[in-house]
Structure 1
Amino acid sequence: MNKKHCAVEMEFSYGTGQESQRLLLSFLLLAAWEAGSGQIHYSVPEEAKHGTFVGRIAQDLGLELAELVPRRFRVASKGREDLLEVNLQNGVLFVNSRIDREELCGRSAECSIHLEVIVDRPLQVFHVEVEVKDINDNPPVFPATQKNLFIAESRQLDTRFPLEGASDADIGANALLTYRLSPNEYFSLEKPSNDERVKGLGLVLRKSLDREETPEIFLVLMATDGGKPELTGTVQLLITVLDANDNAPVFDRTLYMVKLAENVPNGTSVIKLNASDLDEGLNGDIIYLFSSDISPNVKSKFHIDPITGQIMVKGYIDFEESKSFEILVEGIDKGQLPLSGHCRVIVEVEDKNDNVPDLEFKSLSLPIREDAPLGTVIALISVSDRDAGVNGRVTCTLMSQVPFKLVSTFKNYYSLVLDSALDREGISNYELVVTARDGGSPSLWTTASVSVEVADVNDNAPAFAHPEYTVFVKENNPPGCHIFTVSARDADAQENALVSYSLVERRVGERALSSYVSVHAESGKVYALQPLDHEELELLQFQVSARDAGVPPLGSNVTLQVFVLDENDNVPALLASRAGGSGGAVSELVPRSVGAGHVVTKVRAVDADSGYNAWLSYELQPAAGGARSPFRVGLYTGEISTTRALDEADAPLQRLLVLVKDHGEPALTATATVLVSLVESGQAPKSSSQALGGVAGPEATLVDVNVYLIIAICAVSSLLVLTLLLYMALRCSAPPTAVACGPGKATLVCSSAVGSWSYSQQRRQRVCSGEGPPKTDLMAFSPSLPQGPSSADNVSLKNLIHTNFF
């Protein structure tokens, strides 16, 4: 029921002077208060639902609904402001949120919510009090659901054992408690009364106890409140019957919570326990012991002082081994029948960053091919840390500047993967170092290394040091002669670097290349299978192939230019229709009237060799009997001429023996016999001209030949200079040459002997290089004009040059 009050109470006293003035002032203040103030009382039950009607506050305060908003109607409460609210549309005060009287006022008999209602224009303040009425929403509650009582069997009848009653958060009849005890033959319940002088709740012993007959008694104590409906609460009473010594030790607390850092040294104090015993003498002296059913691990880690109750560390405390310990402690008195009290100590171990991360390679896929694609997984790495929290949070890093990276796959696992391309020929092995670091402060770290071998792939062909080699070999070499060794290197490994050699077969003239040379497949040695003949083959050019054993195989070729060097193995050969070999004869008719320097005939010879070996000289052998012959022979021309005028003393038949010799080492020779018949002047011309081959004037013929020879020599000399310049340029940039089976040397020959010109043989030498037409081997001599009869023996041979054109 809601009530509205506007009550003003005032006590008047009559007097004069100052008392009259005070009375007038009090009256004026009272009139002002009555005009702007009032007090309204409402009531509402606790736990009322949201929106429950409390009262029409605007109407009760005499305010119009239309002026609530313009006059800024507002409500302020002392304490929580959200319990009650006013609807400005209808002026109703309603419940806005849950109201708990026990939370709001506790055990207070009266509970109200005080509101101040304020309106402006003019300012008015109204006081509103809302009483919260109690409902029976709290059952009686005992301090514990079970209570253990230890009663000695020697206790006298009618002994009272006090009990702690239940409490009810409600008030009034809702908190009026009545107690009932479960039926039993040993105890009765002594109930409390309203008279404070009467003892409170307790058990009264009605029948003597016998521990041997009934060691334990179970009772239920029930408390019921006076609310409607009534609520109840219970507690179980476990009564243990003890022998005499009826007071057991009691600890300050039954449960102790202690924090202990790991790795503390032995002797560190954990906690000091304290128990008390109401008995005296030995019955009150307490000994502290670990409970008999305590775990062996606790006994190995902790020690308790039996006198002081101090628990100390005696073993290694490791958080990773055990995060907490539960220690059961008994306090036993020294009575003849000792009683004990119990407590429990929970020791929580605090973690320290004392464990280095553990790093392990779980799986390795090695070696890795050098052509492996990016992202290839090489290894799976497992990391762990026995510490907890941040101390056990591990991160992994990899050393820098390697073609690998770490990828976090899932918790505590990393994959080592390929991050960039590999080249075994550049780096064939990587020593990778992985570092695992925890998040502790300071952090701990560990490293692990792994050797990553790069497997070879056949990606490199065998390579020769030079693309071409020049080899010089003397002719007439023995069959199977080693002339050169080719060598190719392969940057790959094992089978991929195993090189074998073979000839690149082709035709050399009418024959196969393999009939001339062979190459050893493993060593690369090149052999000449047969004697080589410079006169037949001056240059043999071919290719050798090198192949590795990879799959697929790779290969490359190198070119060999084998120059066959000349040796003096050919005897000079005489050229004349009437000349033969050694012992052959040529007949000539010479008039006795000829003078000195008359050319009788010319011995012609050629040598199949080249160079010095084909350079021929002519000598006239002394006549038999030591007589001086009136004839001479040109050293390099082979022309036989008179040295003086013939006379009658000269024998009519002159037998001349000409020795033809080359310049080889050793020199080879041939001989020619010339028969000269001296005839009178009228008989000679025709036969002489016929002997000389029909030449009318030998001097004129020699001049014509010299003119042609000069032209040819000039052309050849120009070509020679050009060739020498080109050869020098190529020589500076060409690879080093190799010489086998007796190297030869290019030779420059200069001589002062007289001669016009000569060549070894008008023939074409085949140069088996496989490129271009055959070349000509030419020997040229610069001619000199004759100096007359007196100087025929002193004609000089100048600027002899020998060159080979390849």
Structure 2
Amino acid sequence: MGERCCAVLRVLVLQAAWALAGGQVRYSVPEEAKAGTVVGRLAQDLGLEAGEAEARRLRLVAQGRRASVEVSGASGALLVSSRLDREELCGKSAPCALRLEVLLERPLRVFHVQLEVTDINDNAPIFPAARKNLSIAESSLPGSRFPLEGASDADTGANAQLSYTLSPSEHFSLEVKSKDEKKSSVFLVLTKSLDRETIPVHRLVLTATDGGRPSLTGTMELVISVLDANDNAPQFNQSVYKVQLPENTAPGTVFFQLTATDKDEGINQEIHYSFSDTASAYLQELFKIDEKSGEIRTAGELDFEDLQSYDLEIEARDKGIPPLSGHCSVELEVLDVNDNAPEVWVTSLSVPVPEDASVGTVVALLSVSDRDSGTNGRVRCWVWPAAPFGLEATFAGSYSLVLREALDRERVSEYEVEVRAEDGGAPALGARRGLRVPVSDVNDNAPLFAQAVYTVLARENNAAGAELARLWARDPDEAGNGRVSYSVWEGAAGGVGAAAGSGWRAASSYVSVDAESGRVWALQPLDYEELQVLQFEVRAVDAGEPPLCGNATVQLFVLDENDNAPALLLPAGSAPEAGAVVAKIRAVDADSGYNAWLRYELWEPRAKGPFRVGLYSGEVSTARPLDEADGARHTLLIVVRDHGEPARSATATLRSVSRSALGVDVGGAAASAATNVWLVVAICAVSSLFLLALVLYGASRWAPRAAVLSGPGPTTLVCASEVGSWSYSQRHSRSLCVADGAAKSDLMVFSPNFPPPPPGAAPKDTQPEPSVLLHTVSDTALLLPLTQTQPFCPSRCVGSVGIQMPRWFSNLWSVQESPESPNPTPQGTSPCFHLQRWPH
């Protein structure tokens, strides 16, 4: 029974051992352990009983190289058989683990054992050379730094952490900068100026100490030669330069320019650049330095995913004897590139846009995306030009093109809009999408005439249907909105200035306007004696919806033609004294101006007789005293002519009925005899008129030159227009115009003639005497003192001067354009005129 239990227990122990064999046994042993050192109880850890390891032949499987460990056949322990050197087995790798295979026969089983060889501080720091020679100019400034090659330690961990010390020196110190946990930069720093004559050579010991316990050290002798010449080494303006370079930089690209300066002259100042001795061969293959210019260029391709930064140690050495050098470091950072540009799509476009569209109207919808991520994929959008459209973001990647300002098709009928997108990469990539946005027309412009008032001159007796003027109104709209039609507007302000007794008539009875061309043509012949000024409005209407219109005023002035012959009036008799006025021929002409300027000629008798006729006054006077030889009866034939082209005339026959009076036959017929009483009345009337004229003339000489007489009623102003003709307008006041020049010798009376006189006034072929007009002139008349030949320029007047000459005035004065008036008359100025008094 006891034997059976022992057998069962043995089976359980074997099963546990087999189960353990499926796992892995781990041991650690320090390097340099002595031979025979027990690493671990292998048999026991495998679950074997005492003596069973030998019986079942527990052993190590032969390795390709000697494992330096063995299994004891008697005890089954794992022992060190020879020297273990971690640096030889694993180098700088940590941890250092050896994989062993253990074989157990009867039955056959294989176990894996991992043996870790731990590091001990058994390697001292080693410098690349036991001695380093340095040449330093005696003129080197304190603070100058000289790179030194550091030591290396084959151990790992704390055993490989090195610290450096320099033997005591008053001229030098040591500076150590750690680049990372495994590498440090060592610099020899000059702390005090050198003097070659005092100490030509400095010998220092650089010691490297590791971090092991106990620590180990390594040394290197520094032999520093002090140079007497070339005492200025090249200097960089910075000790460290930081440069960034994108990964897609092409080989051969210059990315940095080194600049070092040397204060020496001649050959000691010439510098060539190179990598420091500490630079690896890999760096010197990837980058190249131009020795003369200092340009650093890429020689291979950079890869951001492979290496993100490079540290280039640069030396600048002059050509002095011995040469001096300056050092700097270029830290190159490789940047990821932005290699995807944004994309812009137009998803919706609503054109054309009406010009009256409200601000905020959506014109187009756009979508923007960039396949890059991060900053390189962050996109901003805008519109160029900035007006009158803008972009509004709706949600991520979507934008609306909206109207920001009011449109005007007449100013800009179509817009070329460009949507621009740019990502946040460096350098940024962009995209553009052009849009054509036409603007549709609305009827927002009324027709506009070039002038508010048109002045038109037309001669009387023109043919019906004759073209008087052409009017044109501009409408900048297009199609029907800009198609203009014309018409005469029969408004309340339209009217006709006509002769007395003719009343008011509609403008459409005189003129008509062609609806399409704007041509103004006459419906009937015009008569100056009936109508002098016609004012009406022309309306221009476009075909828009709703239609818009514009107005222009047309002032039509009828020019006089010599179509009326003079008409004689009955004269008054006078006494037959020598030089006395015995009669006066009075004649009127319905025309005006030169056409109404009359001259009187004694036609018969042609021989020298006792009578003569005033050329312009029509006064018949005695040339000498009458005697018995002249006879009792005399017949005079007098011809009255105007100055028209062609001239028209009338004749009057005067016959004496006694030696004291003459009779007249108008047009060849004899008139009734006049008595001496009528002759006396005529002389008194002429004398009264002469005295009144002298009084008014004296009053005008003492009156202010710029006196203004104003009246309550409407007045008629006829002034020189910009085209050099007479134009018509209305004012509520009169201004007295005094022309420049000498003192005035005559008095001229102007009276208004518009609006026309009421019905029942005197017919047009009769005119009152000047003396009567002088007493019956209205409050708005103008009294103007003038010389015999008086230039009159409306532009020199104090105010606006109203001039309208009645027919009796045309018999006394003529109006001629002055040579002072510019030809042609510039716009905005007025021509000048001469008032010429007909000779009496």
Normalising by structure 1, we get a TM-score of 0.45
Higher relative contact order (CA 8 A, sep 6+): 1
Normalising by structure 2, we get a TM-score of 0.43
